[in-house]
Amino acid sequence: MAATTVHELRLEDKVKLQGILHVLDLFSNLDRDMPLQMIRTMLLVCIKEGQGPNEVSRELGVANAVSSRHLSDLGEIDRYHNDGYNLVEQRVDVTDRRYRRSYLTAKGVTFRNELLRAVR
């Protein structure tokens, strides 16, 4: 029988991992089946508001279509014309109306603040 190895963690590392787990629980409370790429998209909008879908896709290393879908689903109405999460809104860029920029809604700001509390 093989010996079991225990990899000890410092208390502060356990607290950090518990914070990550809590963050994932918050996303799971929104939607148990939310894809990881959508979670990454939401986190990126929290970090860098005002980016367009192309910038988001470049930052995350995904196709433009993927970031556009996720930004849409995180908005008021999802890609299937059902209620979205209403966490992100896309506004037309006032300097170039061909582009849209992504910003947190009031609900998105509240959710971002919950995420930040979870990792403190």
Question: Whole-angstrom Cα distance, residue 20 to residue 28?
Answer: 12
Model pLDDT, residue 97 = 86
Q: Which whole-number Å values give the CA distances from 118 to 23, 28, 37, 87, in the listed order?
A: 6, 14, 20, 18
Low-confidence ranges of the chain (pLDDT < 70): 1-3
Contacts of 110 (CB under 8 A, 6+ apart): none
Cα separation, 23 vs 17, whole angstroms: 10
**CATH level 3 topology of 11-119:** Arc Repressor Mutant, subunit A (1.10.10)
Predicted TM-score of the model (pTM): 0.89
Q: Which residues contact 71 (CB under 8 A, 6 or more apart)?
A: 41, 45, 53, 56, 88, 90, 102
- What is the per-residue pLDDT for 85? 97
- Residues 6 or more apart whose CB falls under 8 angstroms from that of 108 comprise 42, 45, 46, 74, 86, 87, 88, 89
Domain ranges of the chain: 11-119
pLDDT at 14: 92
Residue 64 has a pLDDT of: 93
pLDDT of residue 120: 83
Look-up of token digits 């061909």: 98
**pLDDT for the residue 115:** 97
pLDDT value at residue 72: 94
Residue 3: the pLDDT is 66
Predicted local confidence at residue 1, as pLDDT: 58
Q: What percent of the chain has pLDDT over 70?
A: 98
